[in-house]
Amino acid sequence: MTGEKIRKLLEKVVDWVYPPHCVNCGEPGALICENCLSQLQPVGEHFCPTCGKPLKPRHFCRHCSGAEFPFQSSRAPYLYEGPAKAMIKALKYKGTLALVPIMAKKLSDFWRTNLQWDTDLTVPVPLARDRKAQRGFNQSDLIAKAFCRNTGLKYDPRALMKIRETLQQVGLNAEERRENLSGAFAAEPSLVREKRILLIDDVMTTGSTFAECSAALLEAGASTVMCLSVATTPVDRGKQKTLDS
């Protein structure tokens, strides 16, 4: 019996002895129940072409018009609310690794249906060495790896590194996030030069992480960077204006 088959068998035994509970509603039977999966909130058909955040019809995103992001585009299938938020937090802070295949499948389905950008290399947003050692894993790396298994895209986590520790982004405003991450990433030129990069993270908030990672990749010679996350936070209503205003 292969190691993979043994792992799956052990998981079944554990699930039988300790039935999983939905990370969103708490119902027993699955880590995320079918009812909660059906309640994932899609970004929808009206979104900013740069940051991918949802917009009202005939509105534009002032956040992006003043930000001048170095990446070409960022997209996400879901809003960082409800079940999507519960899954990402359970993975990131509780180490519920069995959620990775579920999120990766949702992300790859979204890729096949809506995107299929021309890319040469898929790269996860990295964690600093100490933070990864403390957590035991990089959730973006796990999602990116599973996503690439589903889509057949080339994957290399060595292409981008976090070269210094930073403060936790949670609780920081947009300007503080940019300052916190400034100069925190470096890319490997031999792996990214003249490559079209797909950058993957779990959630997109202000875009600061994607921006700093993209800047490092482009500085190392990447031709373009496109960004993809499982979820994105809703844009501030105050940062939407009508096209007529």
* CATH assignment, 45-80+97-242: 3.40.50.2020
What are the tens digits of pLDDT across the range 212-222? 999 999 999 99
Query: Whose structure tokens read 């052990």?
Result: 10
What are the tens digits of pLDDT across the range 95-150? 999 999 999 999 999 999 999 899 999 999 999 888 888 889 999 999 999 999 99
Residue 12 has pLDDT above 70, yes or no: no
Compute φ and ψ for 28, nearest 5 degrees: -75, 155
- pLDDT, mean over the chain: 85
- The pTM (predicted TM-score) of the whole model is 0.85
What are the CA-CA distances from residue 122 to residues 101, 144, 204, 218, 226 (Å)? Answer: 17, 7, 17, 14, 10
Domain layout of the chain by residue ranges: 45-80+97-242
- CA–CA separation, 147 and 225 (whole Å): 17
